Chains A and B, each alone.
Chain A
Amino acid sequence: MRKYWTIITTMWARALIHRFTIVAYRTGELFEIVFLLILWTALFKGRDTISGYTIQEMITYVLVGNLVSIVTRNFLTDFMTKEIKDGALSIFVVKPITYLRYVLVRELGRVSLPFLISLVSQIGIMLIFARQLVIHTSFVHFALFIVMVAFAFLIEFFISFLIGATAFWTDETDGLSQTIYRLKRFLSGGYFTLSLLPALYIQISLALPFAYSFYVPTQLYLQKLTLWQGLKGIGIQIIWIALLYLCIKLVWRRGTRRYEGVGI
């Protein structure tokens, strides 16, 4: 266990050196959130609800949803692609540590610090909008919400790993990761709540893993889902985790057979 803790603290040490990046990153995110809040406030002018959402619920949707997406994201694909393409992966495959586990811990380390900073600033914004924010007190809903977010992190991580692993065959993964990123933003409800869309679209989104990184947990938080619906969501997440894990096993075995460890 100690080795994993050391990986995390090493990542923190590294992240702290690049303090400017952390701040710079966060600035962009804040703009996006503020923009969404302004947009919704404008849209709500003169009406009480949109698709069953009050303005408070919509603001909560944006703020909580963004919080979830901050917690669940990772930067693995870029790093992994580079490691495969430049041959830096060689350094890891000779060590007595499983690469998947190593990068999982590394990503936890990588995201945790920016996450803390995002969390602080996000809570700052939430305090500004405190009057508008919906705060529920159901412990079970909240517990389910936390589990769903943790699983969402794992799913996103596995997807990033799979995209990264395509570098064994294609050397570059930008195209694929951009495509999936856009798809994800749209299908996860990151731009607007899926409730605004036709039922079929929602059904497709719920069968795919992306909605569980934004829309579903936020709905759960807002208590627009019953506990049973929440549990069903977690069930779907578990199926995705198992499926993705199997894919990773297969892709990794084949990929490392092709791996040439080239470059400087």
Chain B
Amino acid sequence: MPIIEVKNLTKKYEYYKKAPGLLASMKSLFHREKLYTEAVKNISFTVEEGELVGFLGPNGAGKTTTLKMLSGILYPTSGEAKVLGHVPWKREKKYQKQFAIVMGQKNQLWWDLPAMDSFILNKEIYEVPDAQFKKTVDGLAELLEIKDILDVQVRKLSLGQRMKCELIAALLHQPKVLFLDEPTIGLDVVSQQKMREFIKTYNEQKKTTILLTSHYMEDVKALCKRVIIIDHGEIRYDGALSALIDKYVDHKVITVTFTKPVERVDLEKFCPVMECTPLRAVLNVPNEEVKKVAAKILTTYPVDDILIDEVPVEDVIRRIFTTGKS
């Protein structure tokens, strides 16, 4: 039984255009042309219990819109969805007590008060027992290394510290499903890394089903076995991150360093040359010819070093987004 079931979900937004300037503003006071944009088009997918799925896509792809529908913030234009057996936009208390959403760009913590005050408020709203509350806060604060800042006004915290507090606030009621919308946005490299480690550990320990959106490839690579790639509101790929490479890439990348200069034309006899300086060359070699080509280069040229690599996932995904076909 899947925890999250999404079927033909669509969301249209209404908007209007206004040319710049005062005159256009005056005109728009009387007449506005309504336009529609489809943020999410007819998407379907399911997520099983305990899965950590990455939602990957460029800005405006429909990632956040999807999460907002699954958490009941938005009503869809059409389609169905069920999370833990509930229709999210009915906003049933029973459902709301079992999930949480963390939005990297919105905070639920009270800006003027220490994070602890917000935690206590959440504790009461979600009716978390005292003992569980204490245990969760202590445990999470320890894990995230923020025990000493829980009594400091939230607005005095750094972005990284604040995100950690946001995460604790969202996890107090031990949600079964967690939606993370850009949890690492704006964080420095070290904080990003810490956040990732935490999410990973939490998912493994608690078996919480997590749906995470990000446009940082690193997040997804570090955390998710499965990715859903979404672009212009449509799902381009849904499956294992590793299978993505098998599916879209038919070649490997060979990087050779020579001890003496080598001519580009000579190398082009074997395979397409991507880069070539006299002492270094990068070649794209079809999978089935890798061994043969590598052996040939080693015997023919004065090779100092040779590396055989997979095509980076970033490149694969960039290709999916730029070609726009699945």
Q: A94-B101, A96-B96, A259-B74 are in contact. Are A10 and B127 (CB under 8 A)?
A: no
User: Would B97 and A87 count as touching, CB distance under 8 A?
Assistant: no
B59 to chain A, nearest CB (A): 13
B125 with A3: CB separation less than 8 A: yes
Contact A264–B73 (Cβ < 8 Å): no
Question: What is the 8 Å Cβ interface bit string for chain A, positions 1-38, against chain B (1 contact, 0 not)?
Answer: 01101110010011001100000000000000000000
CA distance A62 to B113 in the complex (A): 37
Cβ-defined partner of A90 (8 Å) among B13, B103, B127? B103
| Most B Cβ at <10 Å: residue of A2, A96, A97 | A96
Give residues 108-133 of B contacting A (CB, 8 Å).
108, 110, 112-113, 117-118, 120-121, 123-127
When the two chains form their complex, are residues B75 and A257 in contact, meaning their CB atoms are under 8 A apart? yes
A95-B96 contact, Cβ under 8 Å, with A13-B113, A14-B113, A261-B74: yes
Size category of the binding interface on chain B: 20 to 34
- CB-CB under 8 A for A3 and B124, given A94-B71, A96-B96, A261-B74: yes
The answer to whether B124 and A93 have CB atoms under 8 Å apart is: no
| Highest count of chain A CB atoms <10 Å: which of B73, B74, B100, B117 | B73
Q: Are B106 and A264 in contact (CB under 8 A)?
A: yes
From known contacts A2-B124, A96-B125, infer whether A10 and B113 are also in contact, taking CB-CB under 8 Å: yes
Q: Which of A240-264 contact B (CB under 8 A)?
A: 256-257, 259-261, 264
List the B side residues contacting A18 at CB < 8 Å.
Answer: 112
Question: In whole Å, how far is A258's beta carbon from the nearest beta carbon of chain B?
Answer: 8
Interface size class of A (residues with CB under 8 A): 20 to 34
B164 within 8 A of A: no
* CA–CA, A91 and B113, complex, Å: 17
The answer to whether A134 has its CB under 8 Å from any CB of chain B is: no
- At the interface, yes or no: B93 with Cβ under 8 Å from chain A? yes
The distance in angstroms between the C-alpha atoms of A204 and B120, with both chains bound, is 47
Contact: A10 with B120, CB < 8 Å?
Answer: yes
Residues of A within 8 A of B124 (CB): 2-3, 5-7
Q: Does A88 contact B (CB under 8 A)?
A: yes
User: Which chain A positions have C-beta within 8 A of B68?
Assistant: 90, 261
Q: A97–B113 contact, CB under 8 A?
A: no
Neighbouring A residues of B108 by C-beta, 8 Å: 91
Contacts of A49-102 to chain B: CB distance below 8 A: 87-88, 90-91, 93-97
User: How far apart are the CA atoms of A261 and B103 in the complex, in Å?
Assistant: 11
Q: Would A260 and B13 count as touching, CB distance under 8 A?
A: yes
B104 nearest in chain A by CB position: A264
For B15, the closest partner residue in chain A by CB is A260
Partner of B72, one of A7, A88, A93: A93
Chain B residues with CB under 8 Å of A93's CB are 72-73, 91
Contacts of B101 in A (CB 8 A): 90, 94
Given A10-B110, A94-B91, 5 other A-B contacts at CB below 8 A? A13-B117, A14-B112, A17-B112, A94-B72, A261-B74
* Contact surface of B with A, Cβ cutoff 8 Å: 13, 68, 71-75, 91, 93, 96-97, 99-101, 103, 105-108, 110, 112-113, 117-118, 120-121, 123-127, 153
Between A and B, 13 residue pairs with Cβ closer than 8 Å are A3-B121, A3-B125, A6-B121, A7-B121, A14-B110, A14-B112, A90-B103, A93-B72, A93-B73, A95-B96, A257-B75, A260-B74, A261-B68
